[in-house]
Amino acid sequence: MDELEMIRRKKMLELMKRAGMIEVKPKRKVVIEVITSPGCPYCPIAWAMAQELGKKYEEVVARELSVATPEGQRKAMEHNIMGTPTILIDNGVEFIGVPNFGEFERKVREKLGLK
């Protein structure tokens, strides 16, 4: 295969991905951490959303960390988290409060390299 043919194939693959004709499987894991606190009325909603995304995408790992635990306290201090729920994706704060599910999924898909 010559260089021109390789360029053509690469471009065709890129165009097919953009058009949604093919979806490339991600090669990495994405970690969602939901920082919660006891008695928080919105935390179960945020945690349920993260769990749903974990079920939908096998490459997504969802974890709940309560500020009532040493690990949760450490994570909250590390990221200067002052309110719950706070959602971290790949160790970066992405949402404070309960996000719109579509926006949450869009951010996860972006991290997975999907459109």
Q: What is the DSSP string of 56-83?
A: H-TTEEEEEEETTSHHHHHHHHHTT--S
CA 81 to chain centre: 18
Tell me how crowded residue 45 is: count the other CB atoms within 10 A of its CB: 16
Q: Residue 17: which region, alpha, beta or left (left: phi > 0; alpha: psi -120 to 50)?
A: alpha
Residue 1 pLDDT exceeds 70: no
Token digits of residue 60: 């997504």
Find where tokens 């079920």 sit: 55
| pLDDT classification of 25: cutoffs 50, 70, 90 | low
Query: What's the pLDDT at 46?
Result: 98
Residue 24 pLDDT exceeds 70: no
CATH code for the structural domain at 26-112: 3.40.30.10
Region 17-24 average pLDDT: 74
| pLDDT classification of 107: cutoffs 50, 70, 90 | very high
Residue 43 pLDDT exceeds 70: yes
Question: What residues does each domain of the chain span?
Answer: 26-112
